[in-house]
Amino acid sequence: VPLEKAQQEAEKYNLMLPLDLGARGSCTVGGNISTNAGGNMVIKYGMMRDSVLGLEAVLADGQIMTSMNQMLKNNSGYDLKQLFIGTEGTLGFITKAVLRLREKPKSTNTALLAIDSFDDVIKILKYIDKGLGGNLSAYEVMWKNFYEVITKTGSNHTPPLPGNHNYYVLIETSGADQEKDLDHFEKLLEMGLENKMIKDVIIAQSESDRKKLWAIRDDVEQHYQEGPVKMFDVSMPISEMENYVLEVNKRFSCIWDNYKCVVFGHVGDGNLHLIGGVGTDNVDEIHAMEECIYEPLKPISGAVSAEHGIGLEKKNYLHISRSETEINLMKSLKKALDPNSILNPGKVFD
Ligand SMILES: Cc1cc2nc3c(=O)[nH]c(=O)nc-3n(C[C@H](O)[C@H](O)[C@H](O)COP(=O)(O)OP(=O)(O)OC[C@H]3O[C@@H](n4cnc5c(N)ncnc54)[C@H](O)[C@@H]3O)c2cc1C
Protein backbone atom coordinates (compact mmCIF):
# COMPACT_ATOMS: atom_id res chain seq x y z
CA VAL A 1 0.00 0.00 0.00
CA PRO A 2 1.52 3.38 -0.94
CA LEU A 3 2.03 5.60 2.11
CA GLU A 4 -0.06 8.36 0.53
CA LYS A 5 -3.02 5.99 0.15
CA ALA A 6 -2.77 4.95 3.80
CA GLN A 7 -2.66 8.64 4.80
CA GLN A 8 -5.76 9.34 2.68
CA GLU A 9 -7.66 6.40 4.22
CA ALA A 10 -6.92 7.72 7.72
CA GLU A 11 -8.11 11.19 6.63
CA LYS A 12 -11.51 9.74 5.69
CA TYR A 13 -12.06 9.00 9.38
CA ASN A 14 -10.67 12.38 10.41
CA LEU A 15 -7.62 10.62 11.81
CA MET A 16 -3.96 10.87 10.95
CA LEU A 17 -1.18 8.41 10.17
CA PRO A 18 1.72 10.34 11.69
CA LEU A 19 4.31 9.53 9.03
CA ASP A 20 5.00 11.86 6.14
CA LEU A 21 7.95 12.11 3.81
CA GLY A 22 8.82 13.39 0.36
CA ALA A 23 8.49 9.91 -1.16
CA ARG A 24 4.87 9.54 0.07
CA GLY A 25 3.52 8.89 -3.44
CA SER A 26 5.95 6.08 -4.29
CA CYS A 27 7.02 4.42 -1.03
CA THR A 28 4.96 1.66 0.57
CA VAL A 29 3.88 1.06 4.15
CA GLY A 30 5.81 -2.25 4.07
CA GLY A 31 8.93 -0.37 2.95
CA ASN A 32 8.36 2.31 5.60
CA ILE A 33 8.14 -0.36 8.30
CA SER A 34 11.12 -2.31 7.05
CA THR A 35 13.27 0.87 7.01
CA ASN A 36 11.69 2.30 10.19
CA ALA A 37 11.13 5.53 8.25
CA GLY A 38 11.28 8.88 10.01
CA GLY A 39 10.09 11.95 8.15
CA ASN A 40 8.82 15.33 9.22
CA MET A 41 6.90 14.67 12.45
CA VAL A 42 9.29 12.46 14.42
CA ILE A 43 9.83 15.09 17.09
CA LYS A 44 6.19 14.69 18.16
CA TYR A 45 5.11 11.21 17.05
CA GLY A 46 8.32 9.18 16.84
CA MET A 47 9.46 7.02 13.93
CA MET A 48 7.48 4.37 12.05
CA ARG A 49 8.20 1.93 14.87
CA ASP A 50 6.00 4.06 17.14
CA SER A 51 3.07 3.74 14.75
CA VAL A 52 3.12 -0.04 14.35
CA LEU A 53 1.00 -2.00 16.81
CA GLY A 54 1.17 -5.35 15.09
CA LEU A 55 2.14 -7.02 11.85
CA GLU A 56 2.21 -10.17 9.80
CA ALA A 57 5.43 -11.38 8.22
CA VAL A 58 6.41 -14.29 6.01
CA LEU A 59 9.51 -15.99 7.40
CA ALA A 60 12.37 -17.47 5.40
CA ASP A 61 11.05 -21.02 5.93
CA GLY A 62 7.62 -20.05 4.58
CA GLN A 63 5.85 -19.84 7.94
CA ILE A 64 3.54 -16.90 8.40
CA MET A 65 3.98 -15.09 11.68
CA THR A 66 0.74 -13.33 12.48
CA SER A 67 1.09 -10.88 15.32
CA MET A 68 -1.70 -8.41 14.57
CA ASN A 69 -1.74 -6.90 18.04
CA GLN A 70 -4.12 -3.96 18.49
CA MET A 71 -3.20 -2.89 22.01
CA LEU A 72 -0.74 -0.24 23.11
CA LYS A 73 0.31 -2.49 25.96
CA ASN A 74 1.23 -6.10 25.40
CA ASN A 75 4.16 -7.46 27.35
CA SER A 76 3.24 -11.11 26.83
CA GLY A 77 6.72 -12.35 26.06
CA TYR A 78 8.97 -11.00 23.32
CA ASP A 79 7.62 -8.19 21.15
CA LEU A 80 8.30 -10.07 17.92
CA LYS A 81 7.17 -7.33 15.53
CA GLN A 82 10.34 -5.43 16.42
CA LEU A 83 12.32 -8.11 14.56
CA PHE A 84 10.85 -6.88 11.30
CA ILE A 85 10.81 -3.12 11.91
CA GLY A 86 13.94 -1.42 10.61
CA THR A 87 15.62 -4.69 9.62
CA GLU A 88 15.29 -3.91 5.89
CA GLY A 89 13.54 -7.12 4.90
CA THR A 90 16.45 -9.30 6.04
CA LEU A 91 14.45 -11.30 8.63
CA GLY A 92 11.01 -11.59 7.02
CA PHE A 93 8.66 -10.08 4.47
CA ILE A 94 5.93 -7.87 5.94
CA THR A 95 2.50 -8.56 4.44
CA LYS A 96 0.09 -6.84 6.86
CA ALA A 97 0.26 -4.28 9.62
CA VAL A 98 -1.90 -2.74 12.32
CA LEU A 99 -1.05 0.96 12.40
CA ARG A 100 -1.64 3.32 15.27
CA LEU A 101 -3.60 6.30 13.95
CA ARG A 102 -3.78 9.54 15.92
CA GLU A 103 -6.35 12.27 16.29
CA LYS A 104 -5.83 14.92 13.63
CA PRO A 105 -4.61 18.16 15.20
CA LYS A 106 -7.26 20.89 15.09
CA SER A 107 -4.69 23.62 14.68
CA THR A 108 -1.45 23.89 12.73
CA ASN A 109 0.89 26.84 12.71
CA THR A 110 3.95 27.11 10.53
CA ALA A 111 6.74 29.66 10.43
CA LEU A 112 10.10 30.16 8.78
CA LEU A 113 12.77 31.70 10.99
CA ALA A 114 16.12 33.21 10.07
CA ILE A 115 18.84 32.66 12.66
CA ASP A 116 22.52 33.56 12.53
CA SER A 117 24.28 31.24 14.98
CA PHE A 118 23.91 27.52 15.56
CA ASP A 119 23.89 28.18 19.31
CA ASP A 120 20.70 30.14 18.75
CA VAL A 121 19.29 27.32 16.58
CA ILE A 122 19.62 25.06 19.64
CA LYS A 123 18.38 27.68 22.10
CA ILE A 124 15.30 28.40 19.97
CA LEU A 125 14.54 24.68 19.73
CA LYS A 126 14.55 24.38 23.52
CA TYR A 127 12.72 27.66 24.03
CA ILE A 128 9.95 26.89 21.50
CA ASP A 129 9.57 23.27 22.61
CA LYS A 130 9.22 24.35 26.24
CA GLY A 131 6.97 27.29 25.36
CA LEU A 132 4.63 25.10 23.31
CA GLY A 133 4.38 22.45 26.02
CA GLY A 134 4.73 19.46 23.68
CA ASN A 135 2.99 20.91 20.61
CA LEU A 136 6.11 21.29 18.46
CA SER A 137 5.72 18.86 15.55
CA ALA A 138 8.57 19.85 13.19
CA TYR A 139 11.90 21.63 13.55
CA GLU A 140 13.60 21.49 10.18
CA VAL A 141 16.81 23.42 9.62
CA MET A 142 18.27 24.52 6.29
CA TRP A 143 21.82 25.77 6.25
CA LYS A 144 22.37 28.93 4.16
CA ASN A 145 23.84 26.96 1.24
CA PHE A 146 20.66 24.83 1.02
CA TYR A 147 18.28 27.81 1.16
CA GLU A 148 20.28 29.89 -1.33
CA VAL A 149 20.13 27.29 -4.10
CA ILE A 150 16.44 26.51 -3.60
CA THR A 151 15.34 30.15 -3.61
CA LYS A 152 17.77 31.60 -6.16
CA THR A 153 16.48 33.69 -9.05
CA GLY A 154 14.90 31.48 -11.69
CA SER A 155 14.07 28.67 -9.24
CA ASN A 156 10.52 27.53 -8.49
CA HIS A 157 10.38 29.47 -5.21
CA THR A 158 10.19 33.11 -4.19
CA PRO A 159 12.41 33.58 -1.11
CA PRO A 160 10.05 34.20 1.84
CA LEU A 161 12.98 35.74 3.77
CA PRO A 162 16.18 37.35 2.43
CA GLY A 163 19.04 34.90 1.94
CA ASN A 164 21.69 36.63 4.05
CA HIS A 165 21.31 34.55 7.23
CA ASN A 166 23.22 31.43 8.24
CA TYR A 167 20.29 29.16 9.15
CA TYR A 168 16.62 28.93 8.16
CA VAL A 169 14.34 27.00 10.47
CA LEU A 170 10.94 25.68 9.45
CA ILE A 171 8.83 25.23 12.56
CA GLU A 172 5.43 23.61 12.75
CA THR A 173 3.14 23.26 15.72
CA SER A 174 0.01 21.21 16.15
CA GLY A 175 -2.64 21.74 18.78
CA ALA A 176 -6.33 21.99 19.52
CA ASP A 177 -7.37 25.65 19.17
CA GLN A 178 -6.30 27.59 16.06
CA GLU A 179 -6.89 31.09 17.41
CA LYS A 180 -5.34 30.59 20.84
CA ASP A 181 -2.45 28.52 19.50
CA LEU A 182 -1.60 31.10 16.84
CA ASP A 183 -1.69 33.90 19.40
CA HIS A 184 0.64 31.97 21.72
CA PHE A 185 2.95 31.00 18.83
CA GLU A 186 3.19 34.63 17.67
CA LYS A 187 4.04 35.80 21.19
CA LEU A 188 6.80 33.20 21.51
CA LEU A 189 8.29 34.24 18.17
CA GLU A 190 8.01 37.94 19.04
CA MET A 191 9.99 37.32 22.21
CA GLY A 192 12.61 35.43 20.19
CA LEU A 193 12.87 38.47 17.89
CA GLU A 194 13.08 40.89 20.81
CA ASN A 195 15.93 39.05 22.46
CA LYS A 196 17.63 38.84 19.03
CA MET A 197 17.94 35.06 18.85
CA ILE A 198 15.60 35.16 15.84
CA LYS A 199 16.70 37.63 13.16
CA ASP A 200 13.67 37.46 10.93
CA VAL A 201 10.45 35.47 10.73
CA ILE A 202 7.49 34.83 8.48
CA ILE A 203 4.36 33.05 9.71
CA ALA A 204 2.16 31.19 7.22
CA GLN A 205 -1.22 32.94 7.00
CA SER A 206 -2.96 30.24 4.97
CA GLU A 207 -2.63 26.60 3.91
CA SER A 208 -1.21 27.84 0.62
CA ASP A 209 1.52 29.80 2.49
CA ARG A 210 2.24 26.72 4.57
CA LYS A 211 2.64 24.56 1.46
CA LYS A 212 5.00 27.11 -0.09
CA LEU A 213 7.25 27.03 2.98
CA TRP A 214 7.31 23.22 3.03
CA ALA A 215 7.96 23.14 -0.74
CA ILE A 216 11.26 24.95 -0.12
CA ARG A 217 12.31 22.39 2.47
CA ASP A 218 11.17 19.47 0.29
CA ASP A 219 12.74 20.61 -2.99
CA VAL A 220 15.94 18.65 -2.43
CA GLU A 221 15.97 17.71 -6.14
CA GLN A 222 17.25 21.22 -7.02
CA HIS A 223 20.61 20.25 -5.59
CA TYR A 224 20.87 17.37 -8.05
CA GLN A 225 20.77 19.75 -11.03
CA GLU A 226 24.30 21.02 -10.53
CA GLY A 227 26.54 18.01 -11.19
CA PRO A 228 26.86 14.61 -9.52
CA VAL A 229 26.01 14.63 -5.83
CA LYS A 230 25.27 12.08 -3.15
CA MET A 231 22.90 12.45 -0.22
CA PHE A 232 23.97 11.32 3.25
CA ASP A 233 21.75 10.67 6.25
CA VAL A 234 23.49 10.80 9.62
CA SER A 235 22.54 11.47 13.23
CA MET A 236 24.32 12.76 16.31
CA PRO A 237 23.67 14.69 19.51
CA ILE A 238 22.41 18.15 18.49
CA SER A 239 25.19 19.79 20.52
CA GLU A 240 27.78 18.15 18.20
CA MET A 241 26.23 19.24 14.89
CA GLU A 242 28.01 22.53 14.30
CA ASN A 243 31.47 21.08 14.92
CA TYR A 244 30.64 17.99 12.90
CA VAL A 245 29.73 20.07 9.83
CA LEU A 246 32.93 22.12 10.26
CA GLU A 247 34.98 18.92 10.51
CA VAL A 248 33.43 17.44 7.36
CA ASN A 249 34.15 20.67 5.46
CA LYS A 250 37.71 20.66 6.76
CA ARG A 251 38.22 17.10 5.51
CA PHE A 252 36.65 17.90 2.12
CA SER A 253 38.84 20.99 1.68
CA CYS A 254 42.01 18.97 2.40
CA ILE A 255 41.22 16.76 -0.62
CA TRP A 256 39.27 18.90 -3.10
CA ASP A 257 39.58 22.56 -4.09
CA ASN A 258 36.02 22.62 -5.36
CA TYR A 259 33.38 20.67 -3.54
CA LYS A 260 29.80 20.93 -2.40
CA CYS A 261 28.62 20.17 1.12
CA VAL A 262 25.04 21.32 1.48
CA VAL A 263 23.39 20.70 4.84
CA PHE A 264 19.79 20.46 6.00
CA GLY A 265 17.82 18.13 8.18
CA HIS A 266 15.44 17.15 10.91
CA VAL A 267 17.58 18.89 13.53
CA GLY A 268 14.94 18.43 16.22
CA ASP A 269 15.52 14.66 15.82
CA GLY A 270 19.33 14.92 15.76
CA ASN A 271 19.25 14.01 12.06
CA LEU A 272 21.26 15.79 9.36
CA HIS A 273 21.25 15.25 5.62
CA LEU A 274 24.38 16.28 3.76
CA ILE A 275 24.51 16.60 0.00
CA GLY A 276 28.09 16.05 -1.00
CA GLY A 277 29.56 16.64 -4.44
CA VAL A 278 33.15 16.60 -5.63
CA GLY A 279 32.53 17.11 -9.34
CA THR A 280 32.73 13.44 -10.34
CA ASP A 281 31.05 10.10 -9.68
CA ASN A 282 34.35 8.23 -9.81
CA VAL A 283 34.08 5.37 -7.30
CA ASP A 284 37.33 6.18 -5.46
CA GLU A 285 36.38 9.83 -5.04
CA ILE A 286 32.92 8.88 -3.76
CA HIS A 287 34.57 6.49 -1.32
CA ALA A 288 36.87 9.28 -0.10
CA MET A 289 33.81 11.53 0.32
CA GLU A 290 32.03 8.82 2.35
CA GLU A 291 35.03 8.56 4.67
CA CYS A 292 34.98 12.34 5.22
CA ILE A 293 31.31 12.10 6.22
CA TYR A 294 31.31 8.90 8.27
CA GLU A 295 34.66 8.88 10.10
CA PRO A 296 33.98 12.01 12.21
CA LEU A 297 30.83 10.32 13.56
CA LYS A 298 32.79 7.78 15.56
CA PRO A 299 34.20 10.05 18.31
CA ILE A 300 30.81 11.71 18.82
CA SER A 301 28.84 8.42 18.92
CA GLY A 302 26.87 9.37 15.82
CA ALA A 303 25.02 7.06 13.43
CA VAL A 304 25.86 6.40 9.76
CA SER A 305 22.15 6.03 9.09
CA ALA A 306 19.46 8.02 10.87
CA GLU A 307 16.42 6.99 8.84
CA HIS A 308 17.41 5.63 5.41
CA GLY A 309 18.88 2.33 6.60
CA ILE A 310 22.14 0.57 5.76
CA GLY A 311 21.22 -1.40 2.64
CA LEU A 312 24.19 -2.33 0.47
CA GLU A 313 25.96 1.02 0.33
CA LYS A 314 26.64 1.64 3.99
CA LYS A 315 27.39 -1.82 5.27
CA ASN A 316 31.16 -1.19 5.24
CA TYR A 317 30.58 1.69 7.64
CA LEU A 318 28.23 -0.07 10.07
CA HIS A 319 31.16 -0.64 12.47
CA ILE A 320 31.39 3.14 12.98
CA SER A 321 28.04 3.17 14.77
CA ARG A 322 27.73 -0.37 16.10
CA SER A 323 30.09 -2.40 18.28
CA GLU A 324 31.41 -5.81 17.31
CA THR A 325 29.11 -7.39 19.89
CA GLU A 326 26.08 -5.61 18.42
CA ILE A 327 26.97 -6.63 14.86
CA ASN A 328 27.58 -10.23 15.95
CA LEU A 329 24.19 -10.34 17.65
CA MET A 330 22.58 -9.03 14.44
CA LYS A 331 24.33 -11.80 12.52
CA SER A 332 23.16 -14.44 15.04
CA LEU A 333 19.56 -13.28 14.60
CA LYS A 334 19.92 -13.43 10.83
CA LYS A 335 21.36 -16.95 11.03
CA ALA A 336 18.59 -18.15 13.34
CA LEU A 337 15.74 -16.75 11.22
CA ASP A 338 17.22 -17.09 7.75
CA PRO A 339 19.96 -19.77 7.85
CA ASN A 340 20.26 -19.94 4.06
CA SER A 341 20.32 -16.15 3.68
CA ILE A 342 17.53 -15.97 1.12
CA LEU A 343 15.95 -12.73 2.41
CA ASN A 344 17.71 -9.65 1.03
CA PRO A 345 21.10 -11.38 1.06
CA GLY A 346 24.07 -9.06 1.53
CA LYS A 347 22.00 -6.19 2.92
CA VAL A 348 23.03 -4.53 6.22
CA PHE A 349 26.06 -6.88 6.60
CA ASP A 350 27.69 -9.80 4.76
C1 LIG B 1 12.11 12.09 -2.00
C2 LIG B 1 12.39 11.17 -0.85
C3 LIG B 1 12.28 11.66 0.44
C4 LIG B 1 12.52 10.82 1.52
N5 LIG B 1 12.40 11.35 2.76
C6 LIG B 1 12.57 10.55 3.81
C7 LIG B 1 12.38 11.04 5.13
O8 LIG B 1 12.13 12.22 5.34
N9 LIG B 1 12.50 10.15 6.13
C10 LIG B 1 12.81 8.83 5.93
O11 LIG B 1 12.89 8.06 6.89
N12 LIG B 1 13.02 8.37 4.70
C13 LIG B 1 12.91 9.17 3.65
N14 LIG B 1 13.11 8.66 2.40
C15 LIG B 1 13.50 7.26 2.27
C16 LIG B 1 12.28 6.42 2.63
O17 LIG B 1 12.34 6.06 4.00
C18 LIG B 1 12.20 5.17 1.99
O19 LIG B 1 12.22 5.46 0.62
C20 LIG B 1 10.89 4.42 2.32
O21 LIG B 1 10.57 4.38 3.70
C22 LIG B 1 11.08 3.04 1.90
O23 LIG B 1 9.88 2.58 1.39
P24 LIG B 1 9.83 1.94 -0.07
O25 LIG B 1 8.48 1.34 -0.20
O26 LIG B 1 10.29 2.92 -1.06
O27 LIG B 1 10.90 0.76 0.11
P28 LIG B 1 12.00 0.27 -0.91
O29 LIG B 1 12.98 1.35 -1.17
O30 LIG B 1 11.35 -0.43 -2.04
O31 LIG B 1 12.70 -0.82 0.02
C32 LIG B 1 13.46 -0.44 1.14
C33 LIG B 1 13.92 -1.71 1.85
O34 LIG B 1 12.80 -2.32 2.47
C35 LIG B 1 12.62 -3.65 1.98
N36 LIG B 1 11.17 -3.86 1.89
C37 LIG B 1 10.29 -3.20 1.09
N38 LIG B 1 9.05 -3.65 1.32
C39 LIG B 1 9.15 -4.62 2.27
C40 LIG B 1 8.21 -5.47 2.93
N41 LIG B 1 6.91 -5.44 2.65
N42 LIG B 1 8.67 -6.35 3.86
C43 LIG B 1 9.99 -6.41 4.15
N44 LIG B 1 10.92 -5.63 3.56
C45 LIG B 1 10.50 -4.75 2.63
C46 LIG B 1 13.32 -3.68 0.63
O47 LIG B 1 13.75 -4.98 0.29
C48 LIG B 1 14.49 -2.76 0.89
O49 LIG B 1 15.53 -3.42 1.55
C50 LIG B 1 12.88 9.46 1.31
C51 LIG B 1 13.00 8.97 0.01
C52 LIG B 1 12.76 9.80 -1.06
C53 LIG B 1 12.87 9.23 -2.44
Q: Is residue 164 part of a domain?
A: yes
Q: Using an 8 Å Cβ cutoff, are 347 and 88 in contact?
A: yes
On whether both 89 and 131 belong to a single domain, the answer is no
Q: Is 109 helix (H, G, I), strand (E, B) or coil?
A: strand
pLDDT in tens, 275-294: 999 999 999 999 999 999 99
Residue 333 confidence (pLDDT) above 90: yes
Please state the atom number of ligand 1 nearest to the C-alpha of residue 28: 25
Are residues 187 and 258 located together in one domain of the fold?
Answer: no
| Whether residue 200 is found in the same domain as residue 234 | no
346 domain-assigned: no
Task: Over range 63-71, report the average pLDDT.
Answer: 97
Q: Which atom of ligand 1 lies closest to the CA of 92?
A: 43
58, pLDDT greater than 90: yes
The reply to whether 79 and 143 lie within a common domain is no
Q: With bands split at pLDDT 50, 70 and 90, how would you rate the model's confidence at 22?
A: confident
Q: What is the mean pLDDT of the chain?
A: 96
Residue 2 dihedral angles phi and psi, to the nearest 5°: -60, 145
134 domain-assigned? yes
Q: Which atom of ligand 1 is nearest to the CA of 84?
A: 43
Q: What spacing in Å lies between the alpha carbon of 40 and ligand 1's midpoint?
A: 15
Of 25-29, 219-223, 271-275, the one with minimum mean pLDDT is: 219-223
What residues make up the domain containing 149?
107-218
Whether residue 40 has pLDDT greater than 90: no
The ligand 1 site (C-beta within 6 Å) comprises 21-23, 27-28, 30-32, 34-35, 37-39, 88-89, 93-94, 307-308, 344, 347
Q: Using CA positions, which residue lies closest to atom 31 of ligand 1?
A: 31
Residue 226, strand partner residues: none
Pocket test for ligand 1, best of 34, 49, 82 (most atoms within 8 A of CB): 34
What is the pLDDT confidence band of residue 349, given thresholds at 50, 70 and 90? very high
**Alpha carbon distance 140, 272 (integer Å):** 10
Do residues 7 and 91 both lie within one domain?
yes
| Residues 287, 318 within the same domain | yes
**Residues 296, 247 share a domain:** yes
Tell me the mean pLDDT in the region 266-275. 96
- Kindly indicate the confidence band of residue 79, based on its pLDDT and cuts at 50, 70 and 90: very high
Summarised one tens digit per residue, pLDDT across range 138-154 is 999 999 999 999 999 88
ipTM: 0.96
Task: Give how many domains the chain has, as a whole number.
Answer: 3
Q: What is the pLDDT of residues 297-312, one digit of tens each?
A: 999 999 999 999 999 9
> How remote is the CA of residue 323 from the centroid of ligand 1, in Å?
25
Identify whether residues 164 and 92 lie together within a single domain: no
Percent of the chain exceeding pLDDT 90 equals: 96
Distance 24 CA to ligand 1 centre (A): 10
Is 232 a residue whose pLDDT tops 90? yes
DSSP calls for 119-142: HHHHHHHHHHHHHHTT-EEEEEEE
Is 342 within the bounds of a domain?
no
End-of-domain residue from the set 103, 132, 161: 103
CATH number of the domain where residue 317 is located: 3.30.70.2740
Residues 89 and 136 in one domain: no
Query: If you take atom 20 of ligand 1, which residue's CA is the nearest one?
Result: 32
